[in-house]
Structure 1
Amino acid sequence: MGPIVSGARPVLWLSLLHGFFFLVADSGTESPEGTTTDMSSRQFRAEFLHEWQGSPDAPYFDPGTPKNITGLVGHPVRLLCRVKNLKNRTVSWVRHRDIHLLTVGRYTYTSDQRFEAQHKPRSEEWALRIRSPQRRDSGQYECQISTTPPIGHAVFLNIVEPETIISSGPELFIQAGSTINLTCTVRHTPEPPTSITWTHGDQVINFDSARGGISLVTEKGLKSTSRLLVQRARGQDAGMYTCGPNNAPSSSTRVHVLSGEHPAAMQQGSARSTLDKTASILCCLSMLYVLSKPTFNALEFET
């Protein structure tokens, strides 16, 4: 019986101590405002018992904190979190994809050296910096405050690469004598391209050539566009056209110049030709199958 009593004694003391704290917390509310007992009880309830979500002293995120960030492959990106009334709590950054803890306070908790915690003393900003981000780094991240339970602010990161798009798609069908109109759009570049070059086949398009009727309109900005116009199209103008900005991948389209035949009729004829070829192949395979089977006479002779 002795060991049981001695083992239960610490539990009894802890229960009495826990009840004493509750009594202190309750008695503090009846004390005159501003007394030491009142201040200590409120601090105890706020920091140890539970968090008062509706309290003006509770931490919260600045509503102006951005929730969507777009970055470029290979260029540093910064995810920002502004926290009010943080006091003695800590701020952490977590990656949702694998629930990986990246930073706690000013310390980085990942072996990936591209991630870095950034914070200036007495500042409300807690940032996660990613050096040389890649497409795989896209996804949701969360800035968390160590309340009970923790509260978080989600930030979605989208890492993009420079791209070039020709609006006509991979092919363009036009009638002879009409105008070839090609629009090239360059997006997601660190800065606007200094030059956008158009080529026809292997030749750079010369706007001062003897052919004439060639013009180019270029607008540069966050999204740059280049519009190529070739008037009075003829057979020699058919072929591959390529738009090549100096700081983004190039994009190409094939132009077909038709003399009399409608593009839809041409595409239908191409589809019909494909069907004819398929039917011919199936017919040949059927004949081979029939020829490979033994004849009736051969079977009767063998039996």
Structure 2
Amino acid sequence: MIMGQRGSEAKTALFLSLIHGCILLRADSGADYTDSATEMSSRRFKAEFLQEWQGSPDAPYFDPTTPRNITGLVGHPVRLLCRVKNLQNRTVSWVRHRDIHLLTVGRYTYTSDQRFEAQHKPRSEEWALRIRSPQRRDSGQYECQISTTPPIGHAVYLNIVEPETTISSGAELFIQTGSTINLTCTVRHTPEPPSSITWTHGEQIINFDSARGGISLVTEKGLKSTSRLLVQRARANDAGLYTCGPNNAPPASTRVHVLSGEHPAAMQQGCATSSLQISVSIISMFLTLYVTIPYLNFQFVT
């Protein structure tokens, strides 16, 4: 099938080339034709046989409703699609923009990477590029092209993401004794909502029916799933590493510090405030040295 299409395209190109050649030959051989006449004939050829032909009612074109942005998951098959109207005897190809690599031509795959596959059902307007087990490096722009003269294309941007788990408090949380430990875990980019989300304290799974009491959990599942852990009336033995573990995404952890003292505001702000204070102190020290060292050198010289 593809050989027939290529043969038809070659015949058409040859026919157009012969017409163009005849026009130029006549322009060169006739004494009544000048260089300007030759240039005019060339322009007329391009306008009539190329540009106007491409914009004619029976020329092939892309269905504009086809999605241009596709998000896929690492390791899960993804499918890029374009719909071509009035294709006639033209050929549809897929090209990767990153390296201008030809991936498919018609129903045939033109790459040694076996993860890529051309998909098309006979008499269908859909031409698809399927990627088995996509990786992050496969993200980028792809183009579905029709072999018109010149070729026309439909760009599709592919974004490959990995499942991720985050805890809103960050790496550490500082609270005051008697306060509530409030941890929210968010799970994104999973093929489906996690069937379970387990919380652990240290190496122990948190038991919501334990004798300690005051522990509750609220979970919402969807495209973005969340699990909120509340531990009321925190005390010293509630400190430690808390881990949120979805069954279909990597775990995330945060370390909780339960402190007592006379500076609750500083404890609530945690490491972020401490780091800021340290940074300010270092900057102040360097500014002091910058101002005083020239003076000390002057005194030493005199």
Report TM bin, short chain: 0.7 to 0.9
Q: Deviations over 1:220-272 (max 9, x none)?
A: 12211111001111111111100001111000011111212335377566755
Given the superposition, is the C-alpha separation of residues 150 and 16 from structure 1 closer, same or farther in structure 2, using an over 3 Å criterion? closer
> Quick one: which amino acid aligns to residue 264 of structure 1?
A
Contact 1:51–1:147 (8 Å) recurs in 2: no
Establish whether residue 264 from structure 1 lines up as the match of residue 266 from structure 2: yes
Partner of 1:6: none
1:108-151 residue CA offsets vs partner (Å, 9 max, x unmatched): 10000110000011110000000111111111100011111111
Letter in 2 for 1:126: W
Alignment of 1:97-176 (within 5 A): 97-176=98-177
In the alignment, structure 2 segments of 5+ residues that lack a partner are 1-17, 27-44, 286-302
Asked if 2 retains the 8 angstrom alpha-carbon contact of 1:162 and 1:187, the reply is: yes
Cα shift readout 1:181-238 (whole Å, capped 9, x = no counterpart): 1111111111111110000111110101111000001111221111100111111111
Q: Give distance in 2, aligned partners of 1:242 and 1:185.
A: 12
State the distance in 2 between where 1:273 and 1:232 align.
Answer: 33
Contact preservation (8 Å) 1:173, 1:263: no
Q: What is the identity percentage for the equivalent residue pairs of Structure 1 and Structure 2?
A: 82
Residue deviations 1:138-176 (CA, integer Å, cap 9, x gap) = 111000111111111111101111111111111112121
Larger of the two Rg values belongs to structure:
1
TM superposition shift of 1:49: 2.9
Q: Secondary structure at the match of 2:183?
A: strand
- Structure 1 segments, 4+ long, off by >2 Å, are 14-20, 51-54, 260-276
| 1:230 to 2:231 alignment | yes
Correspondence for 2:50: 50
**Aligned equivalent of 2:247:** 246
Give the whole-Å Cα distance in 2 for the aligned partners of 1:126 and 1:51. Answer: 25
2 CA distance for matches of 1:59 and 1:69?
24
TM-score between the two structures when normalised by the length of structure 2: 0.73
Q: Give the direction of change, closer, same or farther, for the CA distance of 1:19–1:218 in structure 2 (3 Å limit).
A: same
When residues 136 and 17 of structure 1 are mapped into structure 2, their CA distance, relative to the original with a 3 A threshold, is closer
CA contact (8 A) 1:116 1:129 kept: yes
Q: Which amino acid aligns with 1:18?
A: C
CA distance in 2, matches of 1:114, 1:145: 23
Q: Tell me which residue corresponds to 1:188.
A: 189
In the TM superposition, what are the counterparts of 1:66-77 in structure 2 within 5 Å?
A: 66-77=67-78
- Superposed CA deviations along residues 82-108 of structure 1, whole A, max 9, x for unmatched, are 011111111110000100000011111
- Structure 1 length as normaliser, TM-score? 0.73
User: What's the RMSD between the two structures over aligned residues?
Assistant: 2.8
The verdict on how the C-alpha distance between 1:180 and 1:76 changes in structure 2, with shifts beyond 3 A counting, is: same
Instruction: Tell me the matched-pair count.
Output: 241
Q: Hey, what's the Cα distance between the residues in 1 that align with 2:116 and 2:124?
A: 20
SS in 1 for 2:266: helix
The residue that corresponds to 1:60 in the other structure is: 61
Letter in 1 for 2:22: H
1:18 aligns to what? 22
Change (3 A) 1:113 1:145: same
Say if 1:274 and 1:17 are closer, same or farther in 2 by CA, change over 3 A. closer
Counterpart Cα distance in 2 of 1:63 and 1:269: 54
Name the CA distance, whole Å, in 2 between partners of 1:156 and 1:128.
13
Question: Structure 1 CA distance, aligned partners of 2:161 and 2:212?
Answer: 40
